[in-house]
Amino acid sequence: MDAIIKAAAVAVICSVAVLLIKRYIPEFAPFAQTAAMAAVLFSVIHIARRVIVYFSDFLASGVIDEGYALLLFKAVGIAVIAQFGAEMCRDSDNSALAFALETAAKIAIISMSLPMFKNLADITAGLLKG
């Protein structure tokens, strides 16, 4: 809870700073905005560390295959990075490029997931054959 409050405070402060920069030095606004987005993400990085540690302990118990967990982390990473880039594109009034980036990310996630779907289909077929 505290981390989200801090992240919200950082976001508000950065928003005001970016607005001032846009007003007085518009050519630096995209750089300021990127830095502000990074600052907000870094303000909650310790939460991500806790999630990774918890997930590592969960994997060590052997309940889930490491390959699937890695796939999940990669998919989330692709989604976050793509959304970050897409929002930057939208803020630059380039929504078509944002859509293309989001679509590319979805295709990358699906492509990365195909081996898992094949394994699931093989398991299902094996169960149906008895």
pLDDT tens for each residue of 93-118 = 899 999 999 999 999 999 999 998 99
The top-scoring range by mean pLDDT among 23-27, 106-110, 120-124 is 106-110
Confidence of residue 49 (pLDDT cuts 50, 70, 90): confident
pLDDT in tens, 69-93: 889 889 999 999 999 899 989 988 8
- Quick one: what percent of the chain has pLDDT higher than 70? 99
Q: Please give the model's pTM, rounded to 2 decimal places.
A: 0.74
Long-range contact set of residues 91-100: C-beta below 8 Å, sequence gap at least 24:
91/30, 91/33, 92/30
The pLDDT of residue 41 is above 90: no
Output the pLDDT for position 76: 92
Output the pLDDT for position 16: 92
Per-residue burial over 10-48, b if 16 or more Cβ lie within 10 Å, else e, is beeebeeebeebbeeeeeebeebbeebbeebeebeeeee
